[in-house]
Amino acid sequence: MKKRLIVLVAIAALLLSATSGLAMAQASDNAQAHAPDQILVKFQPGTSETTQADIHRKHGGRVVDSIPGIDVQVVRIPENKVDEKVRGYRGEASVEFAEPDFIAEAVFAPNDPYFGKQWGMAKIQAPEAWDITQGSAEVKIAILDTGIDQNHEDLAAKIVANKNFTRSRSVDDKYGHGTHVAGIAAAITNNGKGVTGVGFNSSLMNVKVLDDNGMGNYSWVASGIVWAADNGAQTINLSLGGSSASDTLKNAVDYAWGKGSVLVAAAGNSNTDAPLYPAYYENSIAVAATDQNDAKASFSNYGAWVDIAAPGVDIFSTMPNHKNRIGILNYGSLSGTSMSTPHVAGVAALVFAAKPGWTNAEVRTQIQASADPTTGFTTAIGRVNAYKAVQ
């Protein structure tokens, strides 16, 4: 389903390489496009536990986890039987849906780490916005990603919650992506160190849904979205995505929207109008990337389903102060819609602070309505403007 500009908007940005394009590869079982030994199942409302147990027994499934709020079960099955078991569960009248547990991924395109330092802040008029509001520590931005460096000089004091949904042993960021995203959204600002964050005084929730290789099951992402919404995240940043549609992921997005959260998600970096999820869903803001001239970044996805754009080329931000997969320490530049997304998430946090009592629908509408013109896209979308958004 296509999003329409008259509908309330949510914004997404994805840290993806221009060549790989998608955060989640559409591939065969052997390529691990989904978990090889588990699927996601939701039963029709009112289905008894006895009936559920009988169906699981019939298909050789075992419930190993569940996602509260959206009533989706994570079901362990024999390895490499995903297609067969999904078909089997879908054939049961008591099953609302069954699907593979797809994989979402963060993919980066690093370049000169000291080039174009924070040009995006000036472009979106963040300093002018801070003259009106410097945000509030009561407004929480949930970063659903590879984790956040736990003792970074520009981030540690901002982290008010840590939650790990992956199989990694640590909530810390061993990959590098999540720390970079978190710094754009809300690094400690005006402290005489490092970089500034769009959200200024906003707090950060570290919700680890991608593992130390930058990949994560959809069930982890959905669980993170529900948890963030249940724990007071006004803004949920999703600099990740996959090319496969998912009822589980959509239900999680809708659940968080119903809880009052603004969800901002990356549109992807494959220079295509093909959808990326969860950005494509109605209740998330899909964010494309622009360069310093407000033109479409060469790698950015586009199309009628994309809601807004934000700076995404050579974006300077925090990096882990320890060894990480990306390989940049402390501070550096990365490109991608993953970098665009936290610009929008930070603006959403500023609007929540400037407009107490506003709903997520009002915040989303304000952000899109106040955006500046861009060029190079096939449809008219604006580039986020923090100053205009908080007025």
Q: Looking at the annotation, which residues are catalytic?
A: 145, 177, 338
Tell me the Cα Rg of the chain: 20
Q: d(Cα 145, Cα 283) in Å, to the nearest integer?
A: 19
Cβ partners under 8 Å of residue 271, min gap 6: 18, 21, 298, 299, 300, 301, 302
Three-state DSSP state, 288: strand
Region of 54 please: left (phi>0), alpha (psi -120 to 50) or beta: alpha
Please report, for residues 27, 82, 109, the alpha-carbon distance to residue 51 in angstroms, rounded to integers and kept in the order given. Answer: 33, 21, 48
Please report, for residues 32, 108, 151, 240, 266, the alpha-carbon distance to residue 21 in angstroms, rounded to integers and kept in the order given. Answer: 17, 10, 32, 12, 12
Q: Angle formed by the axes of helices 177-186 and 337-354, to 10°?
A: 30
